[in-house]
Amino acid sequence: MQLKSRYHEAPDMAAAMELCYAKGWTDGLPVVPPTADRVADMLAAVKLEPDHEVAFIENRQVSVTAEKIAINAVLAGCKPEYMPVVVAAVEALADPLYGYHGPATSTGGSAVLMIVNGPIARELDMNCGDNLFGPGWRSNATIGRAVRLIMRNTIGTLPGELDRSSLGHPGKYTYCIAENEAQSPWPGLHVSRGFKPEQNAVTIMAALGVHQYSNGLSATPEGILTTACAQMRISAGTSRKTFYAMIFAGEHMAIIAKAGWTRDDVKNYCAEHTQVSLAELKRINIRDGSVTPEDETTMMSLVHEPNDFLVVMAGGLAGVQSAFIPGWGGRSGSQAVTKEIRRP
C-alpha cells in the first residue's frame, strides 16, 4: 500500500512524540506516532485505498482522504476497529446540513457531539453508562479525539486561526458517547432518525457544553421535565432556534418509562414548555428593544419543531441526574446529521 503523506524520521518513540508536538499535530496531549504499518492497519479495517476521498469540506475546499483519517486515528490512539465510526463521523461533518464552517469558526465555541447507535457500540465497548462524559473508556475517548484531530490537522481548524472560539469547552478534546439501547424503553436514537435497529449509525451535532440538572423529588415525567425545561429556558442564551440533546440517566428514565411515555411524548412536552416570552428575552438582553405589552404574550420557541430534541437514554442507573446539551447557533446554520457506519 503506497501512502501519499510525507515521511519523518525519529530515533525513538520519545523523539517521535516530540516531533508531533513540534509540528503542531497534537491537541496538547501526547499522541501515538503514526507509522506506516499503523496507518495501513487502519485503512485495512475499512478496506479503503489511501487516496479515497471520504469527504470534501466545501467551505474550506479541503479533501479529506482515507489516509488522512487513518493518520489522525492513529495519533488519537484508536484501534483499527474504531475506524468505521470515525469515517462515518467525517462523512457527517461534510454534510451541507451540518454546515461545517459556521460551528467550526464561530466565537461561540461548539464541539462535535457524537452519539453512536447499533450493535457496533457494544462490540467496541463504548461507554453508555456511569461517568458518561468522563474519562476511562478508550473507544469513546479516541474516536471523538480522532475527529477533532482531523478537524485540526487536515481541515485546518486551528485554535486562534480558523477556530475563533472565545471560550471553548472540554468537548473539543473528545465528545463521544453511546446510547444505552439495551435498557432503554425506546428504539435507538438512530431509529427515530430513519435507520433500522440492526444498523450502526452515528449522529453528530454542533454542541455546547453539558448542562447537568438534578431532580430527586418528582415521581412523574412531568415533574422531571419541568425541571429540565426550566433550566433549558434559562440557559438557552440565544433567541435562535437550534437542536438540543437530552440525556436521561437511569432513575429518571425509569420514571418516564413506568408512565408509558414515548420519545415523542418527551419531545412534545419540552417543545411546549420551553417557550419563553419575547418580553423576557428583552429583559435579559437577548433581544433588542423596549418591552411592550404585546411582548408579554408573544412566545418564542426554543426549537423549530419537537424533533429538534435528540432524546437519548444514557448515563448511570443510580442517581437523580440527567443533562441537556444546547446546539450551536441557529438551526439554519447547523443541523444534527446521522450517517450509517459501514463495515466491510
Percentage of the chain modeled with pLDDT above 70:
99
> Once rounded to an integer, what is the mean pLDDT over residues 221-229?
98
The confidence band for 9, taking pLDDT boundaries of 50, 70 and 90, is very high
∠ CA 85-161-171, rounded to 5°:
40
Cβ atoms within 10 Å of 119's Cβ, excluding its own: 13
User: Quick check: 75 and 152 in contact, CB under 8 A?
Assistant: no
**pLDDT per position as a tens digit, 178-191:** 999 999 999 999 99
**pLDDT per position as a tens digit, 43-89:** 999 999 999 999 999 989 999 999 999 999 999 999 999 999 999 99
**pLDDT per position as a tens digit, 296-339:** 999 999 999 999 999 999 999 999 999 999 999 888 889 999 99
The whole-number pLDDT of residue 238 equals 59
User: Quick check: 213 and 144 in contact, CB under 8 A?
Assistant: no
Instruction: Tell me the domain boundaries of the chain.
Output: 210-326
Cα 44 to chain centroid, rounded: 26
Percentage of the chain modeled with pLDDT above 90:
92
The whole-number pLDDT of residue 234 equals 79
- Alpha-carbon distance 174 to 143, whole Å? 8
**pLDDT per position as a tens digit, 159-210:** 999 999 999 999 999 999 999 999 999 999 999 999 999 999 999 999 999 9
> Once rounded to an integer, what is the mean pLDDT over residues 279-308?
93
- Alpha-carbon distance 202 to 118, whole Å? 9
Q: Is the pLDDT of residue 129 over 90?
A: yes
The whole-number pLDDT of residue 307 equals 96
Q: Is the pLDDT of residue 236 over 70?
A: no
- Alpha-carbon distance 137 to 116, whole Å? 14
Count Cβ atoms within 10 A of the Cβ of residue 137 and give its class: 0-12 exposed, 13-18 middle, 19 or more buried: buried
- Alpha-carbon distance 230 to 208, whole Å? 18
Return the top range by mean pLDDT from 211-225, 237-251, 327-341.
211-225
Q: Is the pLDDT of residue 225 over 70?
A: yes
What letter represents residue 256's amino acid? I
Strands 299-300 and 321-326: unpaired
Of 65, 7, 11, which Cα lies nearest the Cα of 37? 7
Which grid cell sits at 184? 432503554
Count of residues for the chain? 344
> Once rounded to an integer, what is the mean pLDDT over residues 266-295?
94
